[in-house]
Amino acid sequence: MSDTPDSAVRTYTEQHRAAFLADLAEWLRIPSVSAQPEHDGDVRRSAEWLSGKLAETGFPVTEIWETPGAPAVFAEWPSQDPDAPVVLVYGHHDVQPAAREDGWSTDPFDPVIRDGRMYGRGAADDKGQVFFHTLGVRAHLAATGRSTPAVHLKLLVEGEEESGSPHFRALAEERAGRLAADVVIVSDTGMWDENTPTVCT
């Protein structure tokens, strides 16, 4: 008996867990602190890293969108079904400041895994959530045999959320045509408990 789509997705994610965590750890090592001007270069490096990884995942369109502040990342993967709904996922790649003296038991920008959990600045806010979409879409394709997602998928990952998103509204208005969607999913939220994720739409 073959796997159901749900179990096939779970199998794929488990098989690719180690590589996913290694990539995530690499991204977490970039101290993309938007509130500290000395990290402006790191925030840009974070955007470039994400854009490259999204292209590597298979997104045919990946772009870095400039703002008067930190850059955002846009990616798009059209579905082969022209009538598929358009889903826009929002997240951010900048992080809050962090230092050992803030109470971290290890360097916040040198992620570690303890008791099955990854600890590092941005692992849960918001790089972990954003990056999980790359594994999710690959698992979806593997489980269904599709070459494109079942939905027309767009990602917008800003670089100034932890600084109050001062340029986000202008960016969204300027790029409204590119960002048009049937539904927006906010990928910057918590979970009810360890086994119950939430989806905010």
If DSSP codes are grouped into helix, strand and coil, which group holds residue 193? strand
Distance CA 94, CA 160 (A): 6
Q: Which residues contact 56 (CB under 8 A, 6 or more apart)?
A: none
- For residue 126, is the peptide bond before it cis, meaning its omega torsion is within 30 degrees of 0? yes
Distance CA 56, CA 51 (A): 9
| Angle in degrees, CA 81, 86, 90, rounded to 5 | 140
Q: To which H or E segment does residue 34 belong?
A: none
DSSP 157: E
| Angle in degrees, CA 148, 45, 24, rounded to 5 | 55
Instruction: Judge whether 5 and 144 are in contact, CB under 8 Å.
Output: yes
List the catalytic residue out of 94, 158, 160, 188.
Answer: 94
Which residue is associated with the tokens 């408990």? 193
If DSSP codes are grouped into helix, strand and coil, which group holds residue 103? coil
Active-site residue flag, 161: yes
Active-site residue flag, 14: no
List the catalytic residue out of 23, 42, 126, 161.
Answer: 161
Closest CA to 157 of 30, 85, 62: 62
**Residues acting as catalytic residues:** 94, 161
